A and B are shown apart, each in its own frame.
Chain A
Amino acid sequence: MNVVSMVVNRLVWFVPTVLGLLAVVFVLARIVPTDPAVLAAGENATAEQVQEARERLALDRPLPEQFVEYLRQVVQGDLGTSFYTQQPIVDDLTERLPATLELTILGVLAAGLIGVPLGVISGLNRNSWLDHLLRLVSVLFIGVAPFWIAMQLQLLFSMQLGWLPLSGRIDDFAPEAMTGFLTIDALVAGDLQNFLSALRHIVLPTLTLALPGAAVIVRFTRTSVVEAVNSPSVAYQTAMGLPRRVIVWKYILRLALNSTVTQLGLVFGISLTGAVVIEAVFEWPGLGTYAVRSILHSDYNAVMGVTLCVGVLFALSNLLVDLLQMAIDPRGAT
């Protein structure tokens, strides 16, 4: 299977996946026992006004008809209007998506940078005290709730040591938006102060996202390194006297990365959902806080918009993982 047919195949499957996702969320949003028409009409609305809102939003139609109508809008790039912000949801999402992406991408990178070397060290020194310690710590981080990690980090680094800000994304006004990634925007604008401010703000949420991810990566990298160390090709290279560093950091690492890349993709997906909780703790103005607020206000168009957005991102990250794996492992590509 070559690259093009793989990508086309994935994109075709993408359609039923998204349809299914939307159907589930649509039904879930409708069985919640709050009446969106009441919310849309406002706090002091009369019965007539509520009825008027119900008709305006087509909430009096049968459910399948509403769903088809919603799909028709989605295809045209219209996700509806938020009851709460009174803005098109597409605008809300584009405003908030960069903040979440900046956080999750950095989180996944950090998870890889922390997890891969530790996993290699753990796997090479199997059953040493270091290996046992790393395994214990990684199980802890996988098991502990992310919001607890977030609060501990806040307690230590913000409240006690005062090294890093407690919450938010930046101290001053954001630099002129180009990518929407504040660190990059500030850097492009040559604004060192804002860059440092943005960087200081993103450290704790990134760590909160990265630590459980790194723990997963450590465990998977360790397993595949152990397998690679015992592989015949490594035995051969050892018998031929190749330097250990070349065998480990070139040959074993590549063998191990094969499964680590898959895990990084999963970590990205978990981070996107984990961002909901973490953004709430750090008051990070991304999709997560938006999702929480939308749910609390029964703003179901917004909830569906967020779901669609996260689903698409997740599918794209899976596609990226497949492409990376084809680059790493030539056997699948022929």
Chain B
Amino acid sequence: MNPLLEIDDLSLTFRTEKGPAHVLDSIDLTMVPGEVVGLVGESGSGKTSLARAILGVLPGAQAEIASGRVRLDGIDMLDDGKATRDARGRLVTFVPQDPFDSFNPLFGVGTQLADIVRYRAPPATGHRLARSRRAREAMILDMLAAVQLPASRDLLNRYPHQLSGGQRQRLMIAMALLPQPRMLIADEPTAALDVTVQVQILGLLRRIAAERTLAVLFTTHDLGAAWEICDRIIVMYAGQIAEILPRKAFFAAARHPYTRMLLASLPKPGHQAVGIPGESASPLAPPPGCRFNPRCPLASQMCRTVRPLPSRSEEGHLLACHHPLPTAS
């Protein structure tokens, strides 16, 4: 299959008051249509910056692309041209972390959904301004059913604060699907939700991706959630890709010391969860070589000077480490 998303050697720097912050370091990533990829990492690992780069909404004043490119269906998303602006919100849409703050509190949710249809609906479904209010409403009601919400006008007349967290996030997913995109970026979509609602939302995303051949890039710091719904999991540390794992091999095949420590930090019955000692590397002054080396028990002189290049160990498994651990089995 032809790749939908191609990221080559992307390095990104933010200008800050304390000097340049190196938030992404030589990221390579391709995704095919319909694939669900989880981007796992701690806060500050660069996963949100990567998501924003794909959407083409990096803060223009601070962000500087040091190298690389991001292409979505052949369109350069780091450009600011018409093709990029048309792609944003149509070819690729977005499910935010906090569905409450992401709604404007002063408008009914129906108005906000209708504006997405009005300005972002695919051109193929007819000229967007010619389509009537009634047609827009029909599209929205259909979509409510697709995200398992009651397809009622009553819901659309409500304001964001009158809805539950789960309802709001389902509406956000509905808004992301209305333009009929080929790719969806979900930035920690369940972080603001109750645990039971999290499971439902993840299941919904998984099902929708399969039904619509929609590529989903899903950022999270929750390994369990990623394993739940993803075909591939990318583990990021301080702006570098540490390891890319296929879903089925995730727990068994992980060989990067950071991935293994992440797994060990998961709470399990009968086991004491183990934290990762040390602090996450600062993007202001990242350690040379492998950025994980100051916290890695296996770090050698080589790790402190030479960055390990990602190498393919087996099908679907990519590893960037000088001293990989043996497989757990």
Contact = CB atoms under 8 A, between A and B. Distances in A.
A239 B183 CA distance: 13
17 contacts: A231-B101, A232-B101, A233-B103, A233-B104, A233-B105, A235-B96, A236-B94, A236-B96, A236-B103, A237-B104, A239-B94, A239-B96, A240-B116, A241-B87, A241-B90, A242-B89, A246-B119
A79 interface: no
B312 to A, nearest CB: 33
A77 interface: no
A258 interface: yes
Nearest to B159: A330
A35 to B, nearest CB: 58
A125 B230 CA distance: 42
A124 B72 CA distance: 30
Nearest to A232: B101
A56 interface: no
A235 B175 CA distance: 15
Given A236-B96, A331-B159, A242 B115 contact: yes
B322 to A, nearest CB: 38
Contacts, number: 72
Contact of A232 (B55, B96, B107): B96
The winner among B103, B104, B120, B162 for most chain A CB atoms within 10 A is B104
B29 interface: no
Given A236-B103, A239-B89, A330-B106, 12 more contacts: A232-B96, A233-B102, A235-B96, A236-B96, A239-B88, A240-B88, A240-B175, A240-B176, A241-B89, A246-B119, A255-B106, A331-B161
Interface in A214-261: 231-233, 235-243, 246, 250-251, 254-255, 258
Most A Cβ at <10 Å: residue of B89, B98, B106 = B106
A334 interface: yes
B178 to A, nearest CB: 10
B162 A238 contact: no
Most buried by B among A236, A242, A246, A331: A236
B116 A242 contact: yes
Residue picked from A239, A254, A258, most chain B C-beta under 10 Å: A239
Given A240-B89, A241-B89, A246-B119, A328 B94 contact: no
Interface in B90-112: 90, 93-94, 96, 98, 101-108
A69 interface: no
B57 interface: yes
Contacts of A238: 57
Contact of A241 (B85, B104, B107, B162): B85
A240 B91 CA distance: 10
Interface in A177-215: none
A240 B94 CA distance: 6
Interface string B36-80: 000000000000000010010100000000000000000000000
B119 A243 contact: yes
Nearest to B185: A239
A191 B120 CA distance: 51
B115 A246 contact: yes
Nearest to A241: B89
A176 interface: no
Interface string B113-143: 0011001100000000000000000000000
Contacts of B108: 330
A60 interface: no
Nearest to B108: A330
A16 to B, nearest CB: 33
A238 B94 CA distance: 10
A140 to B, nearest CB: 29
Contact of B106 (A237, A241, A242, A254): A254
A329 interface: yes
Interface in B130-184: 159, 161-162, 175-176
A330 B110 CA distance: 14
A255 to B, nearest CB: 6
A14 to B, nearest CB: 29
Given A239-B89, A240-B116, A242-B89, A232 B102 contact: yes
Interface centre among A232, A233, A241, A329 (most CB of B within 10 A): A241
A250 B104 CA distance: 11
A201 B94 CA distance: 56
A174 B52 CA distance: 65
B120 A240 contact: yes
A240 B93 contact: yes
A231 B106 CA distance: 13
A326 B135 CA distance: 31
User: Closest 9 CB pairs between A and B?
Assistant: A241-B89, A232-B101, A241-B88, A236-B102, A240-B89, A233-B104, A239-B94, A330-B159, A239-B57
A234 to B, nearest CB: 8
Given A239-B57, A242-B89, A246-B115, A334 B162 contact: yes
Interface string B1-14: 00000000000000
A250 B114 CA distance: 13
Contacts of A254: 104, 106-107
Nearest to A243: B119
A258 B159 CA distance: 16
A302 B304 CA distance: 87
B44 to A, nearest CB: 19
B102 A241 contact: no
A215 B87 CA distance: 41
Contact of A242 (B87, B102, B103, B119): B119
A331 B119 CA distance: 27
Contacts of B85: 241
